[in-house]
Structure 1
Amino acid sequence: MRVVAGEYGGRTIKSLSGNTTRPTTDKVKGAIFNMIGPYFSGGRVLDLFSGSGSLGIEAISRGMSQAVLVEKNYRAMQVIKENVAMTKEPEKFQLMKMIANQAIQQLAKEEVRFDLVLLDPPYAEQELIKQIEFLLQHELLNADSVIVCETDKAVTLPERIGQLVQRKRHIYGITAVTIYDLEEEK
């Protein structure tokens, strides 16, 4: 695995061995960022199920200014720390070793807002709709926020979740990528 593009483009990303995490392939990662960017001029990203930190690091590499990387697994968090160190810009990353729901509750208390939310949970542990609804209800999203959900291709997410509207859905092998943004006011 590697950083696909941007400031850290081409740098190697370590991943956790075994079946604990399911890293996003470079092909899918490149496709995701081509659909939503591909580059940014600042902003804050939340990578709620970080695994190796690859998606959050890619977002920073492509111009986001701050990333919150959430991971509950101790060994995965050690890999994330190594990958963040590779960027030589650790100040751009906040690491939270805790379960996703606990992390978004803490971020809500801190009144943090995000421009990009990356949701790539373990396929067997998906609570995406509930988590997205929490983000909306607790105003963790900016007006032009984008949410990217990576799921098994058999999972079909709804066209709408609150004020969010599904803009794109693409299948890459066994993976589906679904992109939401806030509905434009008429």
Structure 2
Amino acid sequence: MVRLKISMASRSKRGHPQQKSSQRPAGQIRIIAGRWRGRKLPVANSEGLRPTTDRVKETLFNWLAPHIVDSRCLDLFAGSGSLGFEALSRGADETVFLEKEAKIANILQQNLQQLSADNGKVEQTDSLQYLKNPGQPFGIVFIDPPFRKDLLSECCELLEQNHWLAEGALIYIEREQELCAPRLPQSWELLKDKTAGQVSYQLYQRRVNS
């Protein structure tokens, strides 16, 4: 059964200010490939909500293609859930969505139910607070935090420190282009690095020396 856990409060993916938020959905995301290819899902009308573009998403999942099937994924600062839903569509075994705002978390829950995706779980919680707990290792992690909030370095540190990453885990980071590179654990190796407009995005792999 798809579960929605209510706890304290993750931040949605945010960028430039937009119109005042309301309870109704506004806009859509599209699943590019997999069993739900072409499906469109509603997105909450929330200030600054910034789903990953189809162009960037397609590039990312081309990178992840050899690894996505049967993977366990964590979608931090989930927002629209675009990356987590795409992962499930392409054969991920599980995706956990972390989202702070209740109305956005509720729409993520509704979208999982619409897809009958019982291998997706929504946690209504602050992503950084969640990561301060002892972790259960994930094979793929999506990190697309609110822009201009300086959250990346702490997020990456907590992932490593509290054992949220499996050995060989893949970590996707999306950030504003002008932002200086975040502090990253030494065990993270850069695999891919691209820029699209004002967005910079990278794929890292966690390598642990034996």
Alignment TM-score > 0.5, same fold = yes
The 5 A counterparts of 1:1-186 are: 1-37=29-65, 40-89=68-117, 91-106=118-133, 108=134, 111-157=135-181, 161-183=185-207, 185=209
Whole-Å separation in 2 of the counterparts to 1:28 and 1:101? 25
Please say if residues 49 and 79 of structure 2, whose CA atoms lie closer than 8 Å, have aligned partners that are also in contact. Answer: yes
Whole-Å separation in 1 of the counterparts to 2:172 and 2:107? 23
CA deviations 1:90-146 (Å, max 9, x no partner) are x2112111111112224x2xx411000000111022321211111111211111210
TM-score of the aligned structures, taking structure 1 as reference length: 0.89
Higher relative contact order (CA 8 A, sep 6+): 2
- Greater per-residue helix proportion: 1
Unaligned runs of 5+ in 2: 1-28
Whole-Å separation in 2 of the counterparts to 1:167 and 1:22? 25
- Equivalences, count: 182
Unaligned runs of 5+ in 1: none
Give how far 1:159 is off.
8.4
CA deviations 1:14-64 (Å, max 9, x no partner) are 112243411111111111111222662202100011101111111111111
**Distance of aligned partners of 1:154 and 1:47 in 2 relative to their CA distance in 1, 3 Å threshold:** same
TM-score of the aligned structures, taking structure 2 as reference length: 0.80
* Percent identity of equivalent pairs: 29
Whole-Å separation in 2 of the counterparts to 1:169 and 1:159? 16
Please say if residues 44 and 115 of structure 1, whose CA atoms lie closer than 8 Å, have aligned partners that are also in contact. Answer: yes
Q: Could you list the runs of 4 or more consecutive aligned residues of structure 1 that deviate by over 6 angstroms after TM superposition?
A: none
